[in-house]
Chain A
Amino acid sequence: MKKTLFDKVWDAHVVESIPNGPDILYIDKHLIHEVTSPQAFNELEQRDIPIFRPDKIVATADHNTPTLNQHLPIKDDMSRKQIEELTANCKKNNIEFYGLGHKYNGIVHVIAPELGITQPGMTIVCGDSHTSTHGAFGTIAFGIGTSQVAQVFASQSLLLEKPMKMRINVNGTLKKGVSPKDVILYIISQLGTNSGTGYFCEYAGNVFREMSMEGRMTVCNMSIEMGARGGLIAPDETTYAYVAGREFAPKGEELTAKIAHWETLKTDEGAVFDKEYDIDANDIAPMITYGTNPGMGIKIGGTIPETIETSTDKALAYMGFEYGQSLLGTKINYIFIGSCTNSRIEDFRTVAGYINGKKKADNVTALIVPGSRQVADEMKAEGLYKIFEEAGFQVRQPGCSACLAMNDDKIPAEEYCVSTSNRNFEGRQGPGARTILASPLTAAAIAIEGKIIDFTQNLN
């Protein structure tokens, strides 16, 4: 039978199929963080169940951590306690933990790929919906709830019904100024926020083949924003070159053998998807969102469309926009460049390339938050810190930061923030905050102008 990439990875991990029930799916890597793990540790402790495979778990502190003075004790009592609990739980259970100050610390979906933990053909889970990021390597990677974190702790497996499969093909040439973030924001704006519910989504076509691993991660990261639990891109030379040489990646002969296997991780010619979409790359332009879900996106020079969805009225009232309005000229006081979607070295190179020699507008507060200690170190080594500081941007320490505003990095009520993160939900960046999602390049251009502009005309 012809198989899709998804089938190949899924089928290779089925321990047992329960008749009339779910599959027992084996999990290769379990990533955990401070916010969604404590109740799972408690559950196992209360039921006196040991952690089955602690060597397959990697922990980091990222969601609830400050981005200033990480060497000092965390001021907020509850945040500090949450991190202390993770530290203690990892120590007690022999789990590798990259806490604050550790050279490998950072956002879970940034560090696992950059350390070579994420490898093609794996199953990867984490109590975080953006686990879909790792699908960029041809893995089945998805977010789980805390009860499922406990299940993986107890058995290194999950009970799951096999999802349906969809494929999105994007072919053609991307216009100047169009980033991977624009590709995925465009896709979600066309297909809607629940088009992927019940599915895993494979991204195919020359646009993804020509994309860097960083770009592929940005795309797969936002699969969940159209409801798809995971996204996948078939591994290729770009993938192998990214993985090779990283800290926990296979080396030497082992790597050669692995690559021979990874070569087979492609959808067979003629394999059938439950649904499939074709998108012309030439139709995509730099995107921004105007509403309160990531599907409410338009081309940067476009106008807010009329819709029959009642939730749009509520969204526009929250955002302070109107139907038919163009966002060009809207004054922007806050810029956030970071999050598991766009905080990798390539993102900051793009931003630095645009702002080098320029200054941010006076009204703008611009926050740069690297995805990991390693990204921060690379930024320093490449002289990016200097460029950001000279342009008036604040460079912070790694973490999820203003993407979900669990720490002090909050946007004030009713202020617009052009953000490279993944969600523009009401209050996501702080109560009453108004988020406009965009690519790092778009965010950089808006930081310089202090208002939304169509920067594509300035590109040479």
Chain B
Amino acid sequence: MQKFTTLTDVAMTVNIENVDTDQIIPARFLKSTDKDGFGNNLFRDWRYSSGDILNPDFSLNKQSQKGSILVTGNNFGCGSSREHAAWALAGFGFKVIVSSYFADIFKENCLNNGLLPLQVSPQFLSKLFKALEINPTEKVTVNLEEQTISFGDDANIEGFDINPYKKVCLINGYDDIDFLLSKRDAIKQFEEKIS
């Protein structure tokens, strides 16, 4: 897994609430048996009007500069457990997703792919959306070590929570499999106890 520490980049916006994973990657694109290529179909039915023609009204298509931070509406990633949603976002080039609320499974799927789901207060989110509306190339800074997100002047900074274990994993690029494998003896002992 890729390591994550700090990032300063242009942010892109999808200002829609309750975005479900069917919108992030529709089911008809889940037939692949590897993790690559899903970025092409990210937000497929919103990004394209028909066939391969981009929908000029969709926010991601309006922005001239591509960025690796996605700012989205409340309750992002609800619905299906498909990890293909995280692969599609990562495949498109995102490293951080900012929202005021994430669905549980989606959040874990992001963390398992080195993608940071960053939860901010509704007030901070609406300030950030406004700032990005005025200046779409406004840079946003995410500092995982310090657990802060900021943009513009000093007034626009907020702390965020992350599970300390997951923080260590992201910073070092560890994944849960390595950790669980190191616990196999404890797991075997547990199995004996319950059998």
Write the residues of chain A forming the contact surface with B, with a CB cutoff of 8 angstroms: 12, 15-16, 18, 20-22, 24, 26, 35-36, 38-39, 42-43, 47, 49, 52, 63-64, 76, 78-79, 81-82, 85, 127-129, 142-148, 150-151, 154-159, 161, 163, 193-194, 197-198, 224, 227, 229, 293, 309-311, 314, 404-406, 423, 425-428, 431
- Please give me the residue from chain B that is nearest to A309 by CB atom: B17
* In the assembled complex, B33 has its CB within 8 A of some CB on chain A: yes
Contact B177 A227, beta carbon cutoff 8 Å: no
Q: CA separation between A158 and B176, bound complex, in Å?
A: 8
Q: CA separation between A193 and B83, bound complex, in Å?
A: 20
Least CB distance from A194 to B in Å reads: 4
Contact A81 B33, beta carbon cutoff 8 Å: yes
Contact B78 A194, beta carbon cutoff 8 Å: yes
Say whether, besides A194-B101, A197-B104, A22 and B187 are in contact (CB < 8 Å): no
Say whether, besides A81-B33, A151-B176, A426 and B45 are in contact (CB < 8 Å): yes
Say whether, besides A155-B181, A161-B163, A406 and B31 are in contact (CB < 8 Å): yes
Contact B184 A155, beta carbon cutoff 8 Å: yes
Q: CA separation between A347 and B176, bound complex, in Å?
A: 40
Say whether, besides A24-B183, A49-B181, A154-B177, A145 and B31 are in contact (CB < 8 Å): no
Partner of B78, one of A26, A150, A193: A193
Contact B27 A404, beta carbon cutoff 8 Å: yes
Say whether, besides A18-B165, A42-B33, A36 and B113 are in contact (CB < 8 Å): no
- Please give me the residue from chain A that is nearest to B86 by CB atom: A145
* In the assembled complex, B39 has its CB within 8 A of some CB on chain A: no
Contact A35 B22, beta carbon cutoff 8 Å: no
Least CB distance from A131 to B in Å reads: 8
Say whether, besides A21-B164, A38-B33, A427 and B22 are in contact (CB < 8 Å): yes
Least CB distance from A16 to B in Å reads: 5
Residues of chain B lying within 8 A (CB to CB) of residue A309: 17
Contact B101 A425, beta carbon cutoff 8 Å: no
Contact B163 A157, beta carbon cutoff 8 Å: no
Say whether, besides A15-B183, A198-B104, A145 and B81 are in contact (CB < 8 Å): yes
Q: CA separation between A417 and B26, bound complex, in Å?
A: 18
Instruction: Describe A's contact surface by its main secondary structure.
Output: loop
- Please give me the residue from chain B that is nearest to A426 by CB atom: B23
Contact A36 B83, beta carbon cutoff 8 Å: yes
| Residue picked from B34, B45, B83, B102, most chain A C-beta under 10 Å | B83
Q: CA separation between A49 and B179, bound complex, in Å?
A: 13
- Please give me the residue from chain B that is nearest to A423 by CB atom: B79
Q: CA separation between A336 and B169, bound complex, in Å?
A: 44
**In B162-182, which residues have CB < 8 Å from any A CB?**
163-165, 175-177, 179-181
Q: CA separation between A197 and B30, bound complex, in Å?
A: 25
Contact A229 B105, beta carbon cutoff 8 Å: yes
Q: CA separation between A239 and B64, bound complex, in Å?
A: 58
Residues of chain B lying within 8 A (CB to CB) of residue A38: 33-34
Partner of A15, one of B81, B101, B177, B187: B187
* In the assembled complex, B67 has its CB within 8 A of some CB on chain A: no
Least CB distance from B184 to A in Å reads: 6
Fill in one digit per residue for B102-116: 1 if any A CB lies within 8 Å of its CB, else 0: 111100110011000
Least CB distance from A397 to B in Å reads: 19
Contact A144 B187, beta carbon cutoff 8 Å: no
